[in-house]
Amino acid sequence: MNTRRVVVTGIGAITPIGKTTDETWKNMINGVSGAAPITRFDATNFKTQFACEVKDYKPTDYFDRKEVRKYDQYAQFALISAAEAVKNSGLDLDSIDKDRAGVVWGSGIGGLDTFISEISEWATGDKTPRFGPFFIPKMIVNMASGLIAIQHGFSGLNFTCVSACASSSHAMLDAMNHIKWNKADIIITGGSEAAINEAGVGGFNSMKAISTRNDDPKTGSRPFDADRDGFVLAEGGVALVFEEYEHAIKRGATILAEVAGGAMNCDAYHMTAPDPEGRKASNVMTLAIKDAGLKPEDIDYVNVHGTSTGLGDIAEPKALINTFGEHVYKMSVSSTKSMTGHMLGAAGAVEALACINAIQNGIVPPTINLHNLDPEVDSKIDFTFNKAKKRDIKAALSNNFGFGGHNACVIFKKI
């Protein structure tokens, strides 16, 4: 089957380590942690009292007050990042066929802030139903993709992928495929999340999934370290403009990277735990490499899922060894979640930003807070310990694995 090539022509970001793409990347290669005490709510009585928030975020810096009332924070992050991505892409919105322009977004939870606010007000009141008229449209997880389309007038395909921590990776894969299949020429894709609230922190605390290192938040996210105690909850949004190659060339766009290929599958093993042998994680990487028309030895850098959890950080290195064999010791590996925290449904998108910038700049971002490698992890793998390193990167692979066993792998390459 002859398919069309897909490239990235714009990126936008608002993350715990930067309110733009450039700021996020700069802090990423400098090993800056986004973790700090929670300011969104009083976390005094919670086991975890820190997270990776977007710093000093004020909605009214981006939206008027009427708009703020209509948009949950996860949708605000989506709109902010999408606006930057479109601007950076150089798209002339008056000259494109908007029926051939779409949005495929990713979010694992959606409007949790809105849900908490509305239900709390009802539960603590006189039980008279006084729900706000924006409750449902603010809360539903597909609203961000609709709002982005309204923002830019994109009237082509439009939907949202919901697969926990793999959501935005699935969104990017769907965007890639729809352009390849000639269903669209331009798609804004990526993901956003805003779950740093009482329910988000409390829920993950009850699962014993997130770090409780309250005395030293900046070292809370420590993938592959023997002393890790869970991931650090994060928020934000990252958007990418995916475009058909000839369409981008014709308009003189700056091409950042090619979306070479990808794959998705399922562990079919457990609700929240990965297969401890990483068998399907290995399989999804193998399928992605094949889809990209590459060989395992063509991959120079892997941005691993690497959440800083006990089980996942053991299974993924096993999957790398099974996939790459001896080449695993020649490529660079890192977990940028050590800096950004875990942005849940937006994780794949921010890690795509890391891969594309690594290709563009010839720099591998580090895995920070990694001082005592878990003895169950192969010490010969180059995890880019604590400091970025220069390296020519022709192809980069990004892994994301979500609760439910959802696995997604996306490959970007230099063009």
Q: Spot the catalytic one: 170, 247, 342, 406.
A: 342
pLDDT of residue 2: 60
| Rounded Cα gap, residues 321 and 312, in angstroms | 15
- Give the length of the chain: 415
Q: Spot the catalytic one: 152, 170, 178, 305.
A: 305
**What's the N-to-C CA distance of the chain in angstroms?**
22
371 is catalytic: no
pLDDT of residue 280: 97
Residue burial 269-304, b: 16+ Cβ < 10 Å; e: rest: eeeeebbeebbbbbbbbbbbbebbebebebbbbbbb
| Rounded Cα gap, residues 315 and 298, in angstroms | 23
| Rounded Cα gap, residues 403 and 270, in angstroms | 8
pLDDT of residue 146: 98
| Rounded Cα gap, residues 33 and 157, in angstroms | 37
Residue 374: name the closest of 386, 383, 365 by CA.
383
What averages of pLDDT result for each successive group of 10 residues across the chain (415 residues)? Answer: 87 98 98 98 98 98 96 98 98 97 98 95 85 95 98 98 98 98 98 98 97 98 98 98 98 98 97 94 98 98 97 97 98 98 98 98 98 97 98 98 97 97
pLDDT of residue 172: 98
pLDDT of residue 1: 54
165 is catalytic: yes
Give every CB contact of residue 256 below 8 A, 6+ residues apart in sequence: 7, 8, 9, 10, 11, 356, 359, 360
pLDDT of residue 129: 86
305 is catalytic: yes
Q: Spot the catalytic one: 161, 165, 355, 409.
A: 165
pLDDT of residue 130: 86
